[in-house]
Amino acid sequence: MTRPFRSALYIPGSRLRALDKARSLPVDVVLLDLEDAVTPDEKITARATLTDELDKGGYGNRLCVVRINGLDTRWGACDARAANSMACDAVLMPKVNNVTDVDGLVQLTDKPIWAMMETPLGIMNAVEIAAHPQIAGFVIGTNDLAKDLNTRTRGALMASLQMCLLAARAHGIVAIDGVYNAFNDEVGFKIECEEARDLGFDGKSLIHPSQIAVANAAFAPTQSEIDLATRQIAAFAKAEAEGQGVAVVDGKIVENLHIVTARATLAKVDAIAGLELK
């Protein structure tokens, strides 16, 4: 997966101005929300508004993912059917607990499905959910998960984050970390982005456009990582030409597994550049 998923911004499906602004934001993914960000009396109108805006297009290379209401609500099934006809790339299902939940949505859409991993049961079933053939991504719902776990700390969520990440990597799907609520706290947000990146997440879900630049920077390869990857590839190629299976760069052994990572780093750089050019 070389396509960048560094930043995933929630946009209320009921807000025309926000939906239009998203067309010009440097964000990799727009999470077009019909659930939490839309009040009950706006649900039906928001569905129609979102359909119209997606039909207009203009979102370029941004991945458009529609978050529907749960199928256990009076809006969920209609949302799912509508999203299946929308000009979107995937459907985001809230509070996925098990494969049975996913199968219910499969009856209503043939689009790729992203799962909100935000319940204790969902976390426990992360591997089987990730293995479902129509599941293409996880978005961690850290607020709901913290509520259900009765915890106030990020540290208490670490096991859940790692379980989801392991499941996602085992089955080759996208993994997006949860939101950071204090959107004016740039320092704290940067720290949490870097933590999520170091854990292995592909990106961070966002609640405000002001968070985009920090997330994009945190989840992109640094110049030093690019330089190292370039030197590793060159050194390994030279070693192979000399009939050796390993190289040495900066006093460290470089084997084929390091070259796989190095090539992925450079491929991600190219993918980011390609996304930003259009």
Q: Is the pLDDT of residue 64 over 70?
A: yes
Place of tokens 């999520």: 196
pTM of the complete model beyond 0.85? yes
Confidence of residue 3 (pLDDT cuts 50, 70, 90): confident
Residue 2 tokens, joined: 């070389």
Share of the chain above pLDDT 90, in %: 97
CA-based nearest residue to 88, from 70, 112, 105: 112
Residue 178 tokens, joined: 């949860």
Confidence of residue 1 (pLDDT cuts 50, 70, 90): low
Contact between residue 205 and residue 179 where contact means Cβ atoms under 8 Å apart: yes
C-alpha to C-alpha distance for 243 and 106, rounded to whole angstroms: 52
Q: Is the pLDDT of residue 72 over 70?
A: yes
Confidence of residue 217 (pLDDT cuts 50, 70, 90): very high
Question: How far, in Å, are 17, 38, 82, 92, 152 from residue 35 at the CA level?
Answer: 18, 6, 14, 10, 24
pLDDT tens, position by position, 128-187: 999 999 999 999 999 999 999 999 999 999 999 999 999 999 999 999 999 999 999 999
